[in-house]
Amino acid sequence: MTPLIKKLLVGRNLLLVALFYSSAITCLFFLSSQDLPKTQISEADKLIHVSIYFILINLWLLYFYVRNNLKIENKLILIILFSVLFYGIIIEIFQELFTDSRSADILDVAANLLGALLGIFFFKNIKHKLKPKYFN
């Protein structure tokens, strides 16, 4: 196998998980709001956004960390952060344009940013504990 193919295949299970999660949340963001469970806590929606983006950025950071031999540069972290935020903004715009029961909300974007930043902080603090044997 060529070195390029080997490099692309490193962490393929992580890539599949990150792609599946990204696809699943995209579908969930377009569900009708009537189909979603009702909560008594008005802030629950923002907490959900924080949690979703915390997981999303950690999955992508982990994939690139493993793919790059357990190294990740701050430049790549910034690229992933801006990509995830751009994705969130596009989702909000599309909810406004293409759904009847959902609307764009700047507070959702802020919650997405908070979740992504918390995710980066978490990842930077635990990445040194990840062992190569878990990802081969």
In which band, very low, low, confident or very high, does the pLDDT at 5 lie, cut at 50, 70 and 90? low
Is it the case that residue 7 has pLDDT exceeding 90? Answer: no
Tell me the CA distances in angstroms from 65 to 14, 16, 75, 86, 135, one per residue in order.
Answer: 10, 15, 13, 21, 10
Instruction: Report the distance separating Cα 28 and Cα 62, nearest Å.
Output: 23
Average predicted confidence (pLDDT) for the chain: 87
Q: What pLDDT is stored for residue 2 in this prediction?
A: 66
Rounded to two decimals, what is the model's pTM? 0.85
Instruction: Report the distance separating Cα 120 and Cα 55, nearest Å.
Output: 10
Task: Give ∠ CA 24-96-41 in degrees, rounded to 5.
Answer: 70
